[in-house]
Amino acid sequence: MPRKPLCIPRWRCMATSNGNAQQAKVEGIFGATGCGKTFELLKRLRKKKRRRTLIWSPKEAIDNYAGFYPGSVKVSTVREVLAIVDAAGKGDFHIVFEPRLNRKIDTEQFDVVCRILKAARDVTVVVDEMHTVTLPTWSPDGWNQLVMMGRGYGVEIFGLSQRPASVDKNFFGNLSRLRVGRVNSEGDVKTLANALCVPADQVRELSGYMWIERDMLTGKTTRG
């Protein structure tokens, strides 16, 4: 028997009236395992209270994002996400989605989850290990909509990955801020140097917990 299609409430699907006046909030945090990506993400999330979040967490057993927000609910299906978001209405929710690490299934689910979050509006979305659900030349339509139009729906995005060269170019093209730690692949070095607008050697020479960050809105580059 075919599954009943998911219904995203139409009343949620309109952008806010002043959507284009809102500042874009698309941040990328990239680097090899152990370079401090998760620590940096949580530091940024602590800077202000966030009432509505969804964290896509392929390594939840290790990272335990659910422990960061009290009351977080771990889920593994699209229907669970829709049920929580719909029940919350304009209220609070904190969801941690644990994908199966099966690319075909995960990308299908990721696409629909992104569409739900766009319709819900006013959500902070964290996607860890982005390379598991996007490719350099392709990403799900729902994700593209969030990245390109999220500011009009009050959506804030944080994307993380160990393999930035395997992340969709659309994401890099819409970044408002980029933070880069050490990477081990020459392809990753070139991708990140290009996005940061710095010579490749500056990325290649990063070690330990060193980092380079660029604010795309101001053009300011900082290092640490």
Question: 54 is written with which tokens?
Answer: 């969804």
Q: What is the 3-state secondary structure (H, E, C) of 173-215?
A: HCCCEEEECCCCCHHHHHHHHHHHCCCHHHHHCCCCCCCEEEE
Residue 47 burial (10 A CB sphere; 0-12, 13-18, 19+)? exposed
Q: CA-based diameter of the chain, in Å?
A: 57
pLDDT at position 73 over 60: yes
Q: What is the pLDDT of residues 153-163, one digit of tens each?
A: 999 999 999 99
Position 1 pLDDT exceeds 50: no
The structural domains of the chain, with segments of one domain joined by +, span 42-174, 182-224
Q: Which CATH architecture has domain 42-174?
A: 3-Layer(aba) Sandwich (3.40)
Q: In what order do the strands lie in the sheet with 156-161?
A: 73-75, 93-97, 52-56, 124-127, 156-161, 26-30, 177-180, 212-215, 221-223
- Tell me if the pTM is above 0.85: yes
Partners of 213 in beta bridges: 179, 222
Q: What average pLDDT score do residues 177-197 get?
A: 97
